[in-house]
């Protein structure tokens, strides 16, 4: 009886329409399309960190001739949240937001226009060095997280474009 139920469950699961995003591994359509994206320079330290993280993720499938360009604009904000009675800040929030576009280099068409972001809380302590180090670490972590979100969204858009009737 268990074998029959397991077989039935597998048959139903195969008909649900789910397909792996990176089917074919590094030689699959999505991976090759990601490898064909060049990332335009992004201003500032946060821009350098995000661009490096994007290039690392996009180039994971190898190198390909550029077919797409990703334009990114960042908004990096650091704000005080918790104010003590003596008007000192005890908690900060660092927010990193991106507006990005994926452009087809052959046609100039914008394939994706999206925004994404991430934020982190930072404790403000008595050591100024510790606070600066925490702010920089938060920026590095946010850059990695933001780049991952962006690559996932771009991969979905490229997969949908590849599935569309030509």
With beta carbons less than 8 A apart as the criterion, state whether 121 and 93 touch. yes
Least confident range from 56-60, 63-67, 84-88, 137-141: namely 84-88
| pLDDT score for 150 | 96
Q: What is the mean pLDDT of the chain?
A: 84
Nearest to 119 by CA among 149, 92, 94, 139: 94
Confidence of residue 3 (pLDDT cuts 50, 70, 90): confident
72-111 pLDDT, tens digit each: 999 999 998 877 778 778 888 999 999 999 999 999 999 9
Q: Given a cut of 70, is residue 61 above it in pLDDT? A: no
Task: Single out the residue of 30, 154, 161 nearest to residue 98, CA to CA.
Answer: 154
CATH architecture group of domain 23-163: 2-Layer Sandwich (3.30)
| Residue 34 vs residues 7, 11, 60: alpha-carbon distances, Å | 36, 32, 9
Spatial separation of the C-alpha atoms in residues 38 and 20, rounded to whole Å = 24
- In this model, does residue 119 exceed pLDDT 80? yes
Q: If we measure between CA atoms, which residue out of 93, 91, 71, 70 comes closest to residue 82?
A: 91
- Residue-wise pLDDT for 141-155, tens only, equals 999 999 999 999 999
């Amino acid at each position: 009886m268990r074998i029959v139920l397991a077989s039935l469950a597998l048959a139903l699961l195969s008909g649900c329409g789910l397909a792996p995003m990176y089917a074919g591994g590094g030689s699959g359509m999505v991976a090759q399309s990601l490898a064909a994206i060049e990332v335009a320079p992004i201003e500032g330290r946060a821009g350098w960190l995000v661009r490096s993280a994007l290039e690392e993720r996009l180039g994971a499938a190898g190198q390909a001739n550029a077919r797409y360009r990703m334009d990114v604009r960042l908004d990096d904000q650091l704000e005080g949240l918790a104010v003590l009675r003596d008007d000192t800040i005890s908690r900060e929030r660092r927010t990193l937001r991106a507006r990005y576009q994926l452009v087809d280099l052959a046609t100039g068409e914008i394939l994706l226009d999206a925004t994404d972001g991430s934020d982190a809380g930072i404790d403000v302590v008595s050591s100024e060095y510790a606070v600066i180090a925490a702010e920089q670490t938060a920026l590095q972590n946010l850059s990695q997280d933001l780049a991952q979100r962006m690559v996932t969204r771009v991969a979905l858009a490229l997969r949908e474009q590849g599935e569309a009737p030509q």
